[in-house]
Amino acid sequence: MEPGNHSELPVFLLLGLSEKSEIQSVVFGLFLSMYLVTIFGNLLIILAIVSDSHLHTPMYFFLSNLSFSDICFTSTIVPKMLLNIQTRSKVITYTGCLMQMYFFTVFGLLDNLLLTVMACDRFVAICHPLHYTAIMSPRLCAQLLFLTWFISMLGALPESLSMLRLSFCAVIEIPHYFCELPEVLKLACSDTFINNVILYMVTSIMGIFPLVGILFSYSQIVSSVLRISTADGKYKAFATCGSHLLVISLFYGTCLGVYLSSMQTHASGMGAFASVLYTVVTPMMNPFIYSLRNSDMKAALRKLLCSVLSSQ
């Protein structure tokens, strides 16, 4: 990198959601609360699945990995934000900014791909129930998990590595609470055409193909369910997909809302507030959706809590 006629690496400043001191304490308390709920809720999901043998199925295997991904996704952003508020510092190093952008992209892509794999799992379970166990074997599940990790880590590289070619001024003020790639690109001193092309290509490929897979899976599921003669059978079939559909709607709805709003408004501050929806709120809501709408998960959580209380 050639940092804009400076021999030293540039300093990035995260301006956060607000520069008003009276609001900082409110933001700190709110984000700390949401972060703790996210960590605790997703850990409970993972522990419940691991401890209950009835949940050792492909669907819950991928759900536990989704919970782990949500923990990592939020942890790439919130701890640094809380530290900056607590220490009254806005600084994030150049290396730290690059790493934050890379891992944020990795776990964002991983969430997307895991939701796609879970949709495929529901497709096989409902459309090919007699062959479900044979198709969704432990070996295939492990291969699919490895593939999602591999694609996510590989897919995040072009955007992050292309940042190395850019030059920046000595001090960069980012009107955000984390190093979001589009915001950082706006502040570069050199031409960002190649970076924007890479950004749009990766976003299009990693966004469209998983979404097509999800839509195809659920089109087949709906077609299969409609052929079921009894209303009770239809309800049971749809009930197995309800939680997953809610999570998909929340994930894609918040992401789409954020990027549509960013295209319509030039206020970066509004974009930062909108980003809270998919960076913090969505990972926090996923455990509630799966635990409150799923009788097997509620039973596993009760069993886990009873075993913990009885051991004390």
CATH number of the domain that residue 174 is part of: 1.20.1070.10
Name every residue whose Cβ is closer than 8 Å to that of residue 262 and which is 6 or more positions away in sequence. 182, 271, 274
CB atoms near residue 188 (< 10 Å)? 17
Alpha-carbon Rg of the chain, whole angstroms? 21
d(CA 218, CA 161): 36
Name beta bridge partners: 34.
none
Q: Is 10 helix (H, G, I), strand (E, B) or coil?
A: coil
Task: Give yes or no for a contact between 82 and 31, defined as CB atoms under 8 angstroms apart.
Answer: yes
Instruction: Let me know if residue 5 belongs to a domain.
Output: no
The Cα 105–Cα 100 span in angstroms is 8
Q: What angle do CA 41, 133, 283 make, to 5 degrees?
A: 20
pLDDT of residue 261: 57
Angle at the Cα of 9 from the Cα atoms of 7 and 10, rounded to 5 degrees: 115
Q: In this structure, is residue 181 part of a structural domain?
A: yes
Domain assignment present for residue 64? The answer is yes
Cα distances (Å, whole numbers) of residue 142 to 2, 3, 137: 42, 43, 9
Do the beta carbons of residue 233 and residue 126 sit within 8 Å?
Answer: no
Judge whether 274 lies within some domain: yes
Q: How many domains does the chain have?
A: 1
> Is residue 3 one of the residues assigned to a domain?
no
94 lies in a domain?
yes
- Residue 193: give the domain boundaries: 11-311
* Tens-level pLDDT at each residue, the chain (312 residues): 444 444 467 888 998 887 777 788 888 999 999 999 999 999 999 999 999 888 899 999 999 999 999 999 999 999 999 999 999 889 999 999 999 999 999 999 999 999 999 999 999 999 998 999 999 999 999 999 999 999 999 999 999 999 998 888 878 888 888 998 888 998 888 888 999 999 889 988 988 899 999 999 999 998 888 887 777 777 777 777 888 888 888 888 877 766 665 555 444 556 677 788 888 988 999 888 887 767 778 888 888 888 777 776
Whether 20 maps to a domain, the answer reads yes
CA-closest candidate to residue 207, choices 149, 264, 255, 141 = 255
Distance CA 289, CA 44 (A): 13
The letter for the amino acid at 142 is A
Do 296 and 290 form a contact (C-beta atoms < 8 A)? no
- Would 214 be classed as within a structural domain? yes
